[in-house]
Amino acid sequence: MKKKKKPVKKAKKIIKRRAKTVKRELTVEERIALANKPGQDAMKLHPFFKGKIQIAPKCVIRDVKDFAIWYTPGVAKPCLDIKANPEKVWEHTNRANTVAVFTNGTRVLGLGDIGPEASLPVMEGKSLLFKYLGGVDAFPIAIRTKDPEEFIKCAKLLEPSFGGYNLEDIEQPICFYILDRLRKEMNIPVWHDDQQGTAAVTVAGLINALKIVGKDPKKVRVGMIGAGAAGIAVLRVMAAYGIDPAKVVMTDMYGIVHKDRPEFEKHFAYTKDLIVKTNVESRKSERIEDAIPKTMEGMDVVIAYSKPGPDTIKKEWIKRMAKDAILFVCANPIPEIWPWDAKEAGARIVATGRSDFPNQVNNSLGFPAIFRGTLDVNARTITDEMCIAAAVELAKVAEDRGLREDYLIPTMDDLEVFPREAVAVGMKAIEQGVARIVMTKEQLYKKASDRIKNARAMSKSLMKQGFIPNPPKD
């Protein structure tokens, strides 16, 4: 008979195993070094791979004889079929799964007006996320113009090639004008990711943050640092969800936003109908440097899409917020304050736009799935209600996993979140009557899930076979 292991010996093994998993607290210098590492790696790997995307076939090529089908003479038949019935373009080509990532490089990340060439690494990255997370074929289109009319004309001329437009990194206020015009004048879905995409994911995080702290969305007071495209879109979608805009105070580079400001009409020409509903208590700042602390004072929530930090927001300002404060500091590449400093200052929940910190509130959780659902039903547009449907489902996925202060919304490696979000968007499009194709929930889930799984499997296969080489070792 074998002797049983002694309880003490067994306990020692468990303690030893657990000890290996215990990590010491990082110093501030180590945290900053880790935060800077992605940028250092990017400078090594971008030139190594010479970009991030390529075109690959999706049809069989058994031998060169197949080109008689895919090109001349066989291709003439589908061409003539489309000429007779233009709607057949969605069946014979990849247009139904193709999105243009359209920019002029005037408002790139937290970098500002860096031009169309310098914007391309971001647009390629966007296209990569579209494919890997949503199974969508996206292509960067960077054009050299700051004239909104030229931008609109170019976008309209290219419409026959794409199933949708993702506008990206365009300065405000013309981004509002361009989006409104193109949505009205084009027959494919057009959206501005810095507006609608940012808003959908931010609202998803806010829904769950409020659940954790037990506050009513209709009663919370919200400070918004930054009144650019992202901030105003977040306000619009928050208001549509149920946040009272009267309880919102915004600030921009000129101070606290209020309707009596001399330049109010000029700065908010396209959005004044919404902005005028905010700040009913008429908070004002005599000096520009007082705007952010005065906006934050007593707020339940502060959402910042403003100047990259880490000193844009200071610890002492967080201390003046309400109990159980929620802080979203979403500037890229560096948040307005480091999350550990915000926690030390008393914020209960902190979110950023970065994937290397907990609670990433980033468009990457929104646009791949929202477009996946939009394209799968061949929707004519992307409505705010479709964005809210995505936000609610995104929040629900995290809730199903178990909410925590450091887990508000799912991460990009959650395989289920993207098809679930796509289904919510597709079903809302069908409900609103903007979909050309009607499908069941089950059909939509299978279609989205298959597309996304295939895209990920293809990337892994290319790496395994060596067609995507391993990066050099440090």
pLDDT by position in tens, the chain (length 474): 444 445 445 444 544 454 444 456 778 788 788 878 888 888 999 999 999 999 899 999 999 999 999 999 999 999 999 999 999 999 999 999 999 999 999 999 778 899 999 999 999 999 999 999 999 999 999 999 999 999 999 999 999 999 999 999 999 889 999 999 999 999 999 999 988 999 999 999 999 999 999 999 999 999 999 998 889 999 999 999 999 999 999 999 889 999 888 888 888 888 889 999 999 999 998 888 999 999 999 999 999 999 888 999 999 999 999 999 999 999 988 999 999 999 999 999 999 998 889 999 988 999 999 999 999 999 999 998 999 999 999 999 999 999 999 999 998 888 899 999 999 999 999 999 999 999 999 999 999 999 999 999 999 999 999 999 999 887
The CATH fold assigned to 64-193 is Rossmann fold (3.40.50)
Which tokens hold the place of 69?
Answer: 């089908």
pTM: 0.87
Q: What number of H helices and E strands is found in the chain?
A: 19, 10
For 57, counting Cβ atoms within 10 Å of its Cβ (0-12 exposed, 13-18 middle, 19+ buried), the class is: exposed
pLDDT, position 392: 96
Task: Give the residue from 196, 197, 147, 193 showing the smallest Cα distance to 168.
Answer: 193
Residue 247 to residue 18: CA distance in whole angstroms: 47
Q: How far apart are CA 10 and CA 205, in angstroms?
A: 43
What DSSP designation does 193 have? I
Predicted local distance difference test score (pLDDT) of residue 173:
85
Q: Looking at residue 313, what is its pLDDT?
A: 96
Q: Would you state the pLDDT for residue 253?
A: 87
Q: What does each C-alpha distance from 339 to 103, 336, 351 come to in angstroms?
A: 31, 9, 7
Q: Determine the pLDDT at residue 465.
A: 94
Length of the chain, please? 474
Question: Quick check: 121 and 50 in contact, CB under 8 A?
Answer: no
Q: Determine whether 126 is an active site residue.
A: yes
β-strands 326-329, 98-103: how paired?
A: unpaired
Please indicate whether residue 153 is annotated as part of the active site: no
Catalytic residue among 10, 12, 71, 153: 71
In our burial notation (b when 16+ CB lie closer than 10 A, e otherwise), range 127-145 reads: bebbbbbbbbbbbbbbeee
DSSP state, residue 409: S
Which residue of the set 52, 126, 343, 396 is catalytic? 126
Within a 10 A sphere around the Cβ of 157, how many other Cβ atoms? 9
pLDDT of residue 11: 46
